[in-house]
Chains A and B, each alone.
Chain A
Amino acid sequence: MEYIIEVEDLNVYFDELHILKNINIKIPKNAVTSLIGPSGCGKSTFIRTLNRMNDLISTFRRDGTVLLDGENIYNPKVDVVNLRKRVGMVFQKPNPFPKSIFDNVAYGLRVHGINDKDVLAQKVEEALKSAALWEEVENILEKSAMGLSGGQQQRLCIARTIAVEPDVILMDEPCSALDPISTTKIEDLIHKLKKDYTIIIVTHNMQQATRVSKYTAFFLHGEIVESGKTDQIFLEPTDNRTEDYITGRFG
Chain B
Amino acid sequence: MSRWTEEYFIEKGLLLTAISSIIIIGLIIIFIFKEGIPAIQSYGFFNFVFGMNWSPSEGQYGVFPMIIGSLGITLLSLLMAVPLGLLCAIFLAEVAPARMRKVLNPTLQTLAGIPSVVYGFFGLILLVPFMRAQFGGTGFSMFTASVILTVMILPIIVSVSEDALRSIPHEYKEASLALGATHWQTIKNVIFPAAIPGVITSVILGMGRAVGETLAIIMVAGNVVQIPGSIFDPVRALTSNIAIEMGYATGIHYNALFATGIVLIFMIIVLLIIANYLHYKKKVTIGGGYL
A interface residue numbers (CB < 8 A to B): 51, 53, 56, 81-85, 88-89, 91, 93, 95-99, 107-108, 110-112, 143-147, 157, 160-161, 164
Chain B contact residue count (CB 8 A cutoff): 24
- Chain A minimum-CB-distance residue to B188: A111
What 0/1 pattern do residues 158 to 186 of B give for CB contact below 8 A with A? 00000000000101101111111110010
Tell me the residues in window 247-284 of chain B with beta carbons closer than 8 Å to chain A beta carbons. none
Looking at chain A's contact residues, is the secondary structure mostly helix, strand, loop, or mixed?
helix
Once A97-B190, A99-B286 are accepted as A-B contacts, the answer to whether A111 and B291 lie under 8 Å apart by CB is no
**B286/A144 in contact, CB under 8 A:** yes
Query: Is B290 touching A97 in the complex (CB atoms < 8 A)?
Result: no
Known contacts A98-B291, A147-B288; is-contact A81 B180 (Cβ 8 Å): yes
Looking at the assembled complex, report how far the CB atom of B268 sits from the nearest CB atom of chain A, in whole angstroms.
Answer: 31
| Interchain CA distance A189-B288 in the complex, whole Å | 27
**Known A84-B179, A89-B178; further 18 A-B contacts with Cβ < 8 A:** A56-B177, A91-B178, A95-B169, A95-B172, A95-B175, A97-B172, A97-B176, A97-B190, A98-B194, A107-B179, A108-B181, A110-B189, A111-B185, A143-B288, A144-B287, A147-B288, A160-B175, A161-B179
CB closest chain-A residue, reference B169: A95
Report whether over half of chain B's contact residues are helix, strand or loop; otherwise say mixed.
helix
How long is the Cα–Cα vector from A161 to B169 in the complex, in angstroms? 19
In the complex, the chain A residue whose C-beta lies closest to that of B288 is A144
Segment 65-103 of B: residues with Cβ below 8 Å from A: none
Known: A91-B171, A111-B189. A98 touches B286 (CB 8 A): yes
Other-chain contact of A111, B174, B180, B193, B286 (Cβ < 8 Å):
B180
Instruction: Please indicate the chain A residues that have their CB under 8 angstroms from the CB of B189 in the complex.
Output: 107, 110-111
Minimal beta-carbon separation of A247 from chain B (angstroms): 35
Q: Complex: how many Å from CA A235 to CA B111?
A: 68
